[in-house]
Structure 1
């Protein structure tokens, strides 16, 4: 799957030139790589309501495989993330929307952790590419009501497990909103099949460098779709498979990420 990231790219999108100058002139940088850097930018759009602005940003973010952690339409606030990659941790992006009269303003704040380096010019360009997709009037309302096409994330069980492990250490409460509803294709060796509540499920084997009990690991468990009973029953421990499923929920106490409707691929 092709993924676009903030470093070096925030998003790959077609910018609407009508608001580009306004966005670029609003751009500000605060802080430094040693303590952490914050970037801000905004656009002002005619005939834009708060509801339309938040709805549009929700579609724009999800359409580019970014994660929407929270969305408050009434108060015009969102938190989205650029997903973690091998090059960087998750990057939080705060969106706020206000409206006065018949004019709306959408502001974006990007926060980079201490030690993260990025060119301000590149960040500004990519922030504005995102913001200038916001449309006025009926065109904006149509965009806000549209459904972004879901993409499947292809990843190995070991890489996904490491990613979840580090994120659980940082903030376990953020894992479920970060992943819920996303489609994952996970490749790895399974550790057996169990039946619980009438549903077959299996977990992936994950590396354990310590050799003992890993009290920080996060398990990945797939609950099979009803049509997959034969596939599940035929699985053997340590068999290498690729399973495609939808993230259902995260058990913070047991440290288990659950996927539902899993199918063998």
Structure 2
């Protein structure tokens, strides 16, 4: 995520309490539920480099099942996101890192929309749970180079379809970065099986418009089968209820299709 000089200044200004003794003492809340609320927190370590800080936050975020939307280690910026749940939409957090006089600082900025009233103590704990994992020196370099823990996301086709529908309306450009490379196990009714070149794919029934009528805003979910699954794919029946496990490949914004690859049946 490229930062203009002005935006970088704003990030540093938001992280002004960076040199406080602890993450908890750096925590600040500004604004109100009527205009929107900003939360900031940060940690600092002598010897912490900017690339190490950003690399560590990537691993820390993914280990916490958060999504890394964009990052730029050179400029010390990153956008991570708490995935959408039944209780809230996606919660984006801006990560900024900088080094002054040999001391590195990494900060988080969470912007909450007007009307939302989050728990201040809950936000502080969540932000500091992430930031206190950042380490200086060799320990930090090892963490930055670590492979994040892979976890399979279990969901239903209708639940996932409803979430994608909402997110496409909000910002379709962010959807591929949000999901690409994640492994999903999706349960639902398949529509039919199509032969595509030398392979096969199928689509899930994601349900209709919640208000009735034709759903022009729906997002389809399509699964391209792994080569070893040809027999399984050809034996599928329309409207059969299955669980397919695959990896998010890409999002077709124009046709509103989320594609998974290497899908395998249960």
TM (normalized to structure 2)? 0.90
What CA distance in whole angstroms lies between the structure 1 residues aligned with 2:212 and 2:197? Answer: 32
Alignment of 1:213-252 (within 5 A): 213-252=214-253
Aligned residue-pair number:
247
Partner in structure 2 of residue 187 of structure 1? 187
Which protein has greater RCO, CA pairs closer than 8 Å, 6+ apart? 1
Structure 1 position 212, deviation (Å):
4.0
* Preserved CA contact (<8 Å) 2:190 2:204: yes
How big is the shift at 1:22?
2.2
Tell me the residue number matched to 1:52. 52
Whole-angstrom distance in 2 between the partners of 1:95 and 1:157: 32
The separation in 1 between residues aligned to 2:86 and 2:202, in whole angstroms, is 27
Structure 1 residue aligned with 2:13:
none
Q: CA deviation at 1:119?
A: 1.8
SS in 2 for 1:126: helix
Contact 2:183–2:247 under 8 Å retained in 1: yes
Per-residue deviation, 1:46: 1.3
Q: Separation in 1 of the partners of 2:158 and 2:126?
A: 31
For residues 110 and 174 of structure 2, the distance between their equivalents in structure 1, rounded to whole angstroms, comes to 17
Secondary structure at 1:133's aligned position in 2?
Answer: coil
Secondary structure at the aligned position of 1:85 is classed as coil
The secondary structure found in structure 1 opposite 2:22 is: helix
Query: How many Å apart are 1:38 and its aligned residue?
Result: 1.0
Q: Which residue is 1:84 aligned to?
A: 84
What corresponds to 2:260 in structure 1? 259
Distance in 1 (alpha carbons) for counterparts of 2:151 and 2:72: 24
- Give 1:6's aligned residue: none
CA–CA separation in structure 1 for the residues paired with 2:186 and 2:20: 39
Q: What is the TM-score normalised by the length of structure 1?
A: 0.90
In the aligned structure 1, how far is the partner of 2:240 from the partner of 2:115? 40
Q: 43-52 vs 118-127, which deviates more?
A: 118-127
Measured on the aligned residues, the alpha-carbon RMSD in Å equals 1.4
Larger mean Cα displacement after TM superposition, 196-205 or 160-169: 196-205
Runs of 5+ in structure 2 lacking a partner? 1-18
Between the aligned partners of 2:244 and 2:114, the Cα distance in structure 1 is: 36
Query: Contact 1:93 / 1:109 at 8 angstroms: preserved in 2?
Result: yes
Q: Name the residue aligned to 1:4.
A: none
How many angstroms apart in 1 are the aligned matches of 2:24 and 2:38?
Answer: 15
How far the C-alpha of 1:114 sits from its partner, in A, is: 2.1
- 2:44 and 2:104 in contact (8 A); partners too: yes
Offset at residue 113 of structure 1 (A): 2.0
